[in-house]
Structure 1
Amino acid sequence: MKHDTPSPCPDRTKKTGIAHLWAATLYSANGLKAIAGETAFRHELLAACLILPAAWLLPFPLWQAMLLSLLWGAVLVVETLNTALEAVVDLASPGYHPLAKKAKDLGSAAVGLSLALNVLAWGLSLWLLDAGSE
């Protein structure tokens, strides 16, 4: 990973009110631009575009469709946090270090667990849907 050369710290005056809200919005937009360039995030977003309509088109109760949607949103959040963790690890430890590997592996495991929970939730939801139609 290419590291940008550090630049002098910008003005760190504490913002309040509307200025704080605007700055937070810009930071979030920058984060979304950064994560949009990540292959894993784009794959998960594509999967969401294919899977989430099914949650609302199949005859699930409202609470279940909402839960399935929120669980997939959690995958995107966990992937974003994993990407942030990887960026910090790459900055702090450009060379190989066992703790850097462990941190990256744990972040990846978090993504994998969130995906596994989705598979479990969808499997159970579809099974209950099928069981209810008999």
Structure 2
Amino acid sequence: MKNLSIPVRFDSVIDIQGRRVVLSAICKNREHTLMELPKRAEPRTVPPRRRGLLHVIDATGYSIAGLRRLWLEAAVRLEFAAAAIVMLAFLWRGVDAWHWFVAGALLATLLAVEALNTAIEVLTDHLSPEWSQMAKDAKDLGSLAVGLIVVLACIFVGLVMTRVI
């Protein structure tokens, strides 16, 4: 029987005196390499938490940044377009004030759930860049939450426009 020698390559990244290096080896011909990787950026430090009114100002800035990020989602822009159409329909129909309030509350709920769904998708893509069933399930469940609010809003608008409520 003949002994077969199959080249096998393995790499490992190690830290030598604060420098990241890649150790490579190929078993067949005993080739060894040592390659330095680019330096990592310095770790970011979290600024100390501010209190009182400054904390409220910071939180408002974070919320505005979140709204800007949410606006990048095509679904959110479509939801705002649908809300504009509903507003025009409500004006044409001359609905009661409580209809406006409920429609506004449904829109706010939809945007909140859409924001949570987007956060789930961003984190899932970061933690699981390759396809996995768990990542798919997480994204599907977030999408289901958005879909349920959309269905609820459509039912409400349909009932208002047909003057059932």
> What's the C-alpha RMSD, in Å, of the aligned pairs?
2.2
In the alignment, does 2:67 pair up with 1:40? no
State how far apart, in whole Å, the 2-side matches of 1:31 and 1:17 are.
21
Q: Where does structure 1 differ by over 4 angstroms across 4 or more consecutive aligned residues?
A: none
| Unaligned 5+ runs, structure 2 | 1-39
Q: TM-score, normalised by structure 2?
A: 0.68
Match of 2:153 among 100, 104, 118: 118
The structure carrying a bigger helix percent of its residues is 1
C-alpha separation between the residues in 1 aligned to 2:116 and 2:64? 15
For residues 87 and 78 of structure 1, the distance between their equivalents in structure 2, rounded to whole angstroms, comes to 14
Residues 121-132 of structure 1 aligned to structure 2 (within 5 Å) = 121-127=156-162, 129=163
Q: What pairs with 1:1-134 in structure 2 (closer than 5 Å)? A: 8-127=43-162, 129=163
Number of residue equivalences: 126
Q: List alignment gaps of at least 5 residues for structure 1.
A: none
> Equivalent pairs: percent with the same residue?
35
Letter in 1 for 2:59: A
Q: Which has the higher contact order (CA 8 A, sep 6+)?
A: 1
Larger Rg: 2
Give the strand-richer structure, 1 or 2.
2
For residue 6 of structure 1, report the CA deviation from its aligned partner.
8.0
